[in-house]
Structure 1
Amino acid sequence: MKPESAKPRKFTGYHATAIIVSFFGVVIAVNLLMASFAVTTFGGTVVDNSYVASQKYNEWLEKAREQAAHGWDVSKIVRHEGKVAMTVLGADETVLQGAEITATASHPVGRTDPVELSFRQDSTGTYVSSDTLPEGRWKLRILITHGGKEMALARDVL
């Protein structure tokens, strides 16, 4: 049994207004938060100009076929004492001797400036960068030159 002094509360225009304003306030706050995350965490582009990229597509395919014809194989790129190391095998599956290797290391989301690396071959045949690469994830754009042939590739380094 209800006490006589307890009256049912009325739902007024104030309550409806408070609920509607609160709902849209939460929606707007979440949208602003997500938009700020989207703008501050993505720092790169896939291609600068998609039209120009589409015009060069067949040329890029031909270059890829030429590179595949070299028969070169690049091992997984690893870090060793802060430096980057890789092994390049020739078509005969032996270590490619005397290749000139350079690379540009870019942070995937553009938070730091690119780092230019040059490589030298050690006694085991492994190519090791002359400079160290700061910790973190990097995208390497590598250029290998040997005997008048070139190979360009992109690899990730963790």
Structure 2
Amino acid sequence: MAASSSVARPITGRFVLITTIAFFAVVISVNIVMMRLAITTLPGTEVDSAYSASLAYQREIDAARQQNERDWQVQAHIDRRPDGSAAIALEARDHAGAPLTALNFLARLERPIDRRADRAIEISETGPGSYRGRAEGVAAGQWDLVIEGDADGRRMFLSKNRILLN
């Protein structure tokens, strides 16, 4: 009678060494891939220098206080079109309701999660207190609409609002 018997392979030092090296090679490879993905998709910092931002903080507070005292009413309406462009319409009035003219408005659509997707909008005056602009390549989703109004090189108005474009 012939019996087939399987002989168990002994665990040798060579097997343990190869298994350990293979295990750590897989762990290190996955860590390298994940680290590379994290670094390449990092959108960057909100400010380049926290020290510079802290120095400008008091000036920002003063500018906001002055803006509140002017009591300007700036209404913005933005639509995303099927071709991926976005059109913005601004109506600017002073505290008495008179149209604000000869202002240089700048607008930006900022992605809350990725600064690389930000879009600048060129705005031009189309009538007394009426301003229009357009941006290309605007994806659907959440954006921050930042509107700045300058007169004689001095910022007179700043607004930042979270919006949803479909």
- With the shorter chain as reference, the TM-score category is 0.5 to 0.7
The residue that corresponds to 1:109 in the other structure is: 115
Which residue matches 2:56? 56
Partner SS for 1:32 = helix
Identity of matched residues, %: 24
Q: 1:109 to 1:36 in 2, by over 3 A?
A: farther
Residue aligning to 2:138: 135
Question: Gaps (5+ residues) in structure 1?
Answer: none
Report the TM-score, using the length of structure 2 for normalisation: 0.64
Judge conservation of contact 2:70–2:95 (CA < 8 Å) in 1.
no
Q: TM-score, normalised by structure 1?
A: 0.66
What is the aligned partner in structure 2 of residue 84 from structure 1?
A: 87
Q: Which residue identity is paired with 1:19?
A: T
Which residue does the alignment assign to 1:8?
8
How far is the alpha carbon of 1:26 from its aligned partner? 1.8
Report the counterpart of residue 159 of structure 2 in structure 1.
Answer: 153
Q: How far 1:46 moved relative to its partner? A: 1.4
Q: Deviations over 1:101-148 (max 9, x none)?
A: 223556743368x6451233479x76420x4322337665431247x9
Gaps (5+ residues) in structure 2?
none
Pick the structure with more strand per residue. 2
Q: Which residue of structure 2 lines up, in the alignment, with residue 37 of structure 1?
A: 37
**Matched pairs, number:** 152
